[in-house]
């Protein structure tokens, strides 16, 4: 049976060839392969994935590509944020060289945000750039990180400090992949979905308040609609501000403090958990600055908690260390850390700097 797919397009600068299609559906692996074969003709395709996805989803994709007559190879690396490093990128480059990959080779990022970020980064630098396609298998990847061309690796000093804006040639989101996602990893994606409701779509936020259990229960039809809603928001923002010079900064809501908390935890705290705490902190900062009404802060905290995400910062996270990590944030300007704050749900803005005492007060007030 031919399964339906939703189709979106990210329309970037018409002087470039960087615009690309997004396809969304359930159980569409065979159609993804046909689209890759038809749209990106190459003598060699390399699927890049992690050790978890290699076991769960890579065999079906590799088999389908082989049956379609495509020359396909597989590269994998250990799963986890700790692997998103320059060392791993160099290892992947070495494997590409051993496979004889050249500038006409197409990389296929099969996995979550780590796989997508690292594969995109490798694609941006290998032989001065080769094409890649995103096939996200996690909720974070499908609603957020696979679209927009942000590629990067982490350093000991912080997340995503080495990278490039390098757009994929296409994004194919099959929500059936989410059925194998562990609950904790699924909740990571819920944080990004809630973010979109907070910064742009009050109707989505209200829908999540009413039906968060349907998302958490992985209701396919509802989930497909939510993925599409988030990607429509993401694509519309990227189209206006591809390189994060203005509007796109609102997508960092919750991420400024969230990334610092992840780093302080040694990445034991997941991305979604960090973003969840960062969103609550940003709401509380907005309230302290007399922008956001207290009842809207409470709505945000309540939805985050109902999604099964943390609302308290671990007691052993020292505020001075968190502040030190904040000062390494790549989005700072003239030495000032830039927070995305709220005037109300659906109305974000970028603040040019906040007093350290206020940030510390919010951190301490959120301690478990």
> Known catalytic residues?
128, 150, 192, 234, 244, 248, 252, 255, 259, 271
Cα–Cα distance between 159 and 27 in angstroms, integer?
33
> Under DSSP, is residue 330 helix (H, G, I), strand (E, B) or coil?
coil
Residue 338 DSSP class: P
Nearest Cα to 50, choosing from 1, 15, 88, 86? 88
Is residue 264 a contact partner of residue 328, using CB atoms and an 8 Å limit? no
For 11-23, letters b (16+ CB in 10 Å) and e give: ebeeeeebebebb
Q: Determine the angle formed by the axes of helices 220-240 and 202-216, rounding to 10 degrees.
A: 140
For the purposes of burial, counting CB atoms within 10 Å of the CB of 299, is it exposed (0-12), middle (13-18) or buried (19 or more)? middle
- Rounded-to-10 torsion of CA 235, 267, 336, 355: 120
Rounded to whole angstroms, the Cα distance separating 284 from 125 reads 40
């Amino acid at each position: 049976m031919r399964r339906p797919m939703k189709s979106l397009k990210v329309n970037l600068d018409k002087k470039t060839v960087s615009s690309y299609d997004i396809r969304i559906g359930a159980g569409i692996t065979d159609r993804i392969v046909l689209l890759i074969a038809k749209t990106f003709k190459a003598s060699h395709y390399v699927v890049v994935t992690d050790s978890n996805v290699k076991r769960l989803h890579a065999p079906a994709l590799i088999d389908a590509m082989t049956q379609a007559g495509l020359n396909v190879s597989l590269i994998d690396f250990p799963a986890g944020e700790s692997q998103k490093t320059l060392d791993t990128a160099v290892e992947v480059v070495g494997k590409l060289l051993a496979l004889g990959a050249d500038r006409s080779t197409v990389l296929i990022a099969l996995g979550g945000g780590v796989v997508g970020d690292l594969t995109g980064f490798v694609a941006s630098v290998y032989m001065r750039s080769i094409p890649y396609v995103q096939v996200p298998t996690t909720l974070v990847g499908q609603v957020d990180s696979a679209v927009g061309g942000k590629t990067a690796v982490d350093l000991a000093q912080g997340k995503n400090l080495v990278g490039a804006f390098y757009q994929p040639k296409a994004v194919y989101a099959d929500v059936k992949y989410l059925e194998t996602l562990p609950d904790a990893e699924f909740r990571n994606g819920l944080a990004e979905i809630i973010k979109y409701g907070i910064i742009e779509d009050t109707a989505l936020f209200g829908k999540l308040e009413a039906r968060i259990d349907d998302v958490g229960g992985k209701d396919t039809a509802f989930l497909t609609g939510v993925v599409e809603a988030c990607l429509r928001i993401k694509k519309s923002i990227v189209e206006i501000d591809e390189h994060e010079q203005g509007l796109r900064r609102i997508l960092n809501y919750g991420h400024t403090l969230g990334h610092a908390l992840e780093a302080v935890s040694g990445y034991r705290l997941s991305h979604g958990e960090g973003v969840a705490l960062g969103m609550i902190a940003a709401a509380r900062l907005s309230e302290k600055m007399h922008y956001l009404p207290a009842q809207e802060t409470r709505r945000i905290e309540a939805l985050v908690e109902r999604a099964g995400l943390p609302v308290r910062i671990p007691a052993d996270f020292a505020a001075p260390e968190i502040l030190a990590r904040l000062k390494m944030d790549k989005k700072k300007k003239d030495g000032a850390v830039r927070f995305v704050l709220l005037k109300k749900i659906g109305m974000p803005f970028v603040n040019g700097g906040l007093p350290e005492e206020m940030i510390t007060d919010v951190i301490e007030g959120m301690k478990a």
